[in-house]
């Protein structure tokens, strides 16, 4: 089958347009349609010196990606875009892009959404409460819990907590939350990655995983009891592993994903191994969503210095997840 992917091109002043145009330089066996203002795309292509043919999509008939062609589903910006300069007036355009992408996937018109970076600050400056793609899609889907996972070709790292100050992490790791996160991670590894019995390595929160309670009691009081309960249901989970030894090759043998307790516990390791190849995946949604592993990079927009490597990886990951999901049913 030919995966049908909708590409949200992100903050219009940033590098989302650049990387979308760069992606279109190569042929691929995937149907990708970019959500964007065609005039804005043409202006950025001219700025970058790229020759691109824009195929305006009225009815979506899946076809392979051709080199030098970008399929576009038109969505007009609110005000003209100045490359590299944020404008809160275009925040409604960005959010409409995300809504359109979500519901097009939920309806079955597309198989997955791939997102280029947005700028949280400028959306909030527009008077709209917005904390990120993940939370926005979770609200649209009406799901109480989603899980952020980053993946490279050799490592997957999921997070129990995401963008929290360190002082708030411990209180956020509750029995209910940890149980939900592990269930979602296990389920989506089975259904979206076709792993029959996922092996999940769980990091402790504290140094040395608490060292028997001498360096913290979260492992004793919350984490290990949850793991024991879920193991009794048949999930393949390690006990709390000290994070400083969790990522050595021996510890990762037979492991399909590492579960980190907080953002900077696991992601520095993953990004040091594969920055530019990492893909951000939202688990727990009724749709497949992947994203690049970087921000809007306003200073690079329109300069020709932006790399589309992470976008290519995000598109390839989404396509593979679509194929695996289809094969499961």
Average pLDDT, the chain: 94
- Say which range, 13-17, 21-25, 258-262, 324-328, has the weakest mean pLDDT: 324-328
pLDDT at 251: 95
Q: Are residues 40 and 136 in the same domain?
A: yes
pLDDT at 326: 66
Q: Are residues 248 and 321 in the same domain?
A: no
Question: Cα–Cα distance between 140 and 95 in angstroms, integer?
Answer: 11
Mean pLDDT of 25-44: 96
Q: Are residues 1 and 118 in the same domain?
A: yes
pLDDT at 61: 84
Mean pLDDT of 56-84: 93
pLDDT at 7 over 80: yes
Beta bridge partners of 147: 283
Count: domains in the chain: 2
Contact 21, 41 (CB under 8 A): yes
Q: Are residues 255 and 138 in the same domain?
A: no
Q: Are residues 50 and 14 in the same domain?
A: yes
Q: Are residues 235 and 300 in the same domain?
A: no
> Which residue would you say has higher pLDDT here, 37 or 164?
37
Given 3-state DSSP classes, what are the helix, strand and coil percentages for the chain, each rounded to the nearest 5? Answer: 40, 20, 40
Q: Are residues 305 and 260 in the same domain?
A: no
Q: Are residues 135 and 149 in the same domain?
A: no
pLDDT at 273: 81
pLDDT at 328: 44
DSSP per-residue codes, 215-254? T-SHIIIIIHHHHHHHHHTT-EEEEEE-TTTTTSTTTTTT
Mean pLDDT of 281-306: 95
Q: Which domain holds residue 249?
A: 144-284
pLDDT at 226: 98
pLDDT at 275: 72
Q: Are residues 279 and 290 in the same domain?
A: no
Q: Where are the alpha helices (DSSP H) in the chain?
A: 16-23, 38-48, 91-106, 120-125, 133-141, 166-172, 175-191, 218, 224-232, 263-274, 309-328
pLDDT at 329: 39
Share of the chain above pLDDT 70, in %: 99
Q: Are residues 61 and 167 in the same domain?
A: no
Distances in Å between the Cα of 141 and the Cα atoms of 108, 182, 226, 280 are: 14, 19, 27, 18
Residue at which a domain ends, from 247, 267, 284: 284
pLDDT at 59 over 80: no
Q: Are residues 172 and 260 in the same domain?
A: yes
Angular region, 10: left φ>0, alpha ψ -120 to 50, beta rest: left
**Single pTM value for the model:** 0.91
Q: Are residues 259 and 312 in the same domain?
A: no
Mean pLDDT of 161-166: 89
**CATH number of 203's domain:** 3.40.718.10
> Which residue would you say has higher pLDDT here, 21 or 132?
21
pLDDT at 242 over 50: yes
């Amino acid at each position: 089958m030919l995966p049908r992917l909708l590409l949200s091109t992100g903050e219009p002043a940033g590098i989302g347009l650049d990387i979308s145009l760069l992606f279109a330089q190569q042929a691929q066996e995937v149907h990708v349609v970019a959500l964007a203002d065609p005039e804005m795309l043409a202006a950025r292509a001219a700025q970058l010196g790229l020759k691109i043919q824009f195929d305006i999509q009225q009815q979506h008939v899946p076809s392979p990606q051709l080199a030098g062609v970008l399929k576009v589903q038109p969505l007009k910006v609110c005000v003209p875009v100045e490359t590299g300069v944020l404008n809160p007036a275009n925040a409604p355009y960005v959010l409409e892009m995300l809504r359109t992408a979500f519901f097009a996937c939920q309806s079955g018109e597309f198989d997955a959404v791939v997102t280029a970076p947005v700028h949280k600050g400028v959306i909030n400056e527009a008077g709209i409460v917005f904390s990120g793609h993940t939370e926005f899609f979770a609200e649209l889907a009406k799901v109480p819990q989603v899980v952020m996972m980053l993946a490279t070709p050799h490592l997957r790292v999921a997070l129990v907590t995401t963008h929290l100050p360190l002082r708030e992490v411990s209180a956020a790791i509750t029995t209910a939350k940890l149980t939900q996160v592990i269930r979602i991670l296990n389920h989506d590894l089975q259904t979206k990655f076709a792993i029959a019995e996922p092996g999940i390595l769980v990091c402790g929160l504290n140094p040395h995983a608490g060292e028997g309670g001498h360096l913290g009691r979260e492992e004793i009081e919350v984490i290990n009891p949850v793991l024991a309960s879920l193991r009794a249901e048949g999930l393949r989970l390690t006990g709390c592993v000290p994070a400083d030894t969790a990522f050595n090759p021996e510890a990762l043998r037979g492991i399909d994903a590492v579960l980190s307790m907080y953002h900077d516990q696991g992601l520095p390791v993953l990004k040091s191994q594969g920055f530019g190849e990492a893909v951000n995946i939202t688990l727990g949604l009724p749709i497949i969503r992947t994203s690049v592993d970087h921000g809007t990079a306003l200073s690079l927009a329109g300069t020709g210095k932006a790399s589309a490597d992470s976008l290519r990886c995000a598109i390839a990951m989404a396509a593979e997840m679509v194929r695996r999901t289809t094969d499961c049913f």
